[in-house]
Amino acid sequence: MATPPTPAFASLRDYVSRLEDTGFWWPYAAEVLACHDLVDADARPDPVSGVGGTYPTFLYGDAVVKLFGGTGAWRESHAAERAALALVATDPEIAAPRLLGEGRLYDGADASWPYLVSTRIHGDAGERSELSAAQQLALAEELGPQVRRVHALPPSGVATGADWPVLDIAEAARRSSLPPHLAAQAADYATRLRPFDTRPRPGKGTRTLTARPARG
């Protein structure tokens, strides 16, 4: 199978609009799957695009193909995700995807489009499932030990906060898919955000519950 031409986009907005376009990306994903002998000639499962990601991602049977390119930070993102997969693989009790293969679509090109192929975690996204309160609690109880194991991993080979450059919110918003009038407000909006790990304080719009003494 011949590798298709390097993906080309008129703008970042054009790239973002195609992220979930299976028809556009399937020739590239099929090339990756063929290189790693992951094409299922018997079952022929339909490829399904990922939702809400930064890079084109496609599910095919029990495999997931993720391509890196199209944005200025693709090199850092590829390196970070590759390192994260290697790190979680050191603890077999962590329910995370496992790396099946890696490579790049093009040699010697500035946009080489590296890729990662991993196992697929089957199931439904909790946010799109109508879970009862009891089911949500049970899910949280299952996730807790998993999060604890992830936090216990030594940050070896993965980026920490000190490794990332200072974010220029105004410039990032300008280059994003936000409409211009929203991009112009992004930096000011971010300065007014409180830290995400703080609890809401009682005040306007909140209600404080006060226990009443029991009557005898």
pLDDT digits 0-9 by tens, 126-148: 777 888 999 989 989 999 999 99
Residue type, 160: T
16 and 122 co-located in one domain? yes
Q: Model confidence over 192-208: pLDDT tens digits?
A: 888 765 555 555 444 44
24 and 106 co-located in one domain? yes
**pLDDT for the residue 53:** 85
139 and 120 co-located in one domain? no
Q: What angle do CA 197, 55, 44 make, to 5 degrees?
A: 120
20 and 105 co-located in one domain? yes
Contact 23, 56 (CB under 8 A): no
147 and 179 co-located in one domain? yes
83 and 183 co-located in one domain? no
Domain with 73 in it: what CATH number? 3.30.200.20
- What is the C-alpha to C-alpha distance for residues 53 and 82, in angstroms, rounded to an integer? 16
**pLDDT for the residue 203:** 52
Asked whether residue 70 is domain-assigned, the answer is: yes
Which range of 83-97, 126-140, 147-161, 196-210 scores highest in mean pLDDT? It is 83-97
Asked whether residue 144 is domain-assigned, the answer is: yes
37 and 112 co-located in one domain? yes
43 and 120 co-located in one domain? yes
Residue where a domain terminates, one of 127, 159, 180: 127
Asked whether residue 92 is domain-assigned, the answer is: yes
Asked whether residue 66 is domain-assigned, the answer is: yes
73 and 148 co-located in one domain? no
96 and 138 co-located in one domain? no
29 Cβ neighbours under 8 A, 6+ residues apart: 47, 56, 58, 60, 65, 67
Q: Model confidence over 182-191: pLDDT tens digits?
A: 989 999 998 8
Asked whether residue 206 is domain-assigned, the answer is: no
Domain span at residue 47? 12-127
188 Cβ neighbours under 8 A, 6+ residues apart: none
DSSP the chain: -PPPPPP--SSHHHHHHTTT-HHHHHHHHHHHHHHTT---TTT-PPPEE-SS-SS-EEEETTEEEEE--SSTTHHHHHHHHHHHHHHHTT-TTS----EEEEEES-SS-SS--EEEEEE---S--GGGS---HHHHHHHHHHHHHHHHHHHHS---SS--GGGSPPP-HHHHHHHSSS-HHHHTTHHHHHHTPPPTTSPPPSSTT-----PPPPP-
Compute CA distances 141 → 9, 60, 96, 134, 144, whole Å. 44, 30, 17, 11, 5
123 and 72 co-located in one domain? yes
What is the total count of domains within the chain?
Answer: 2
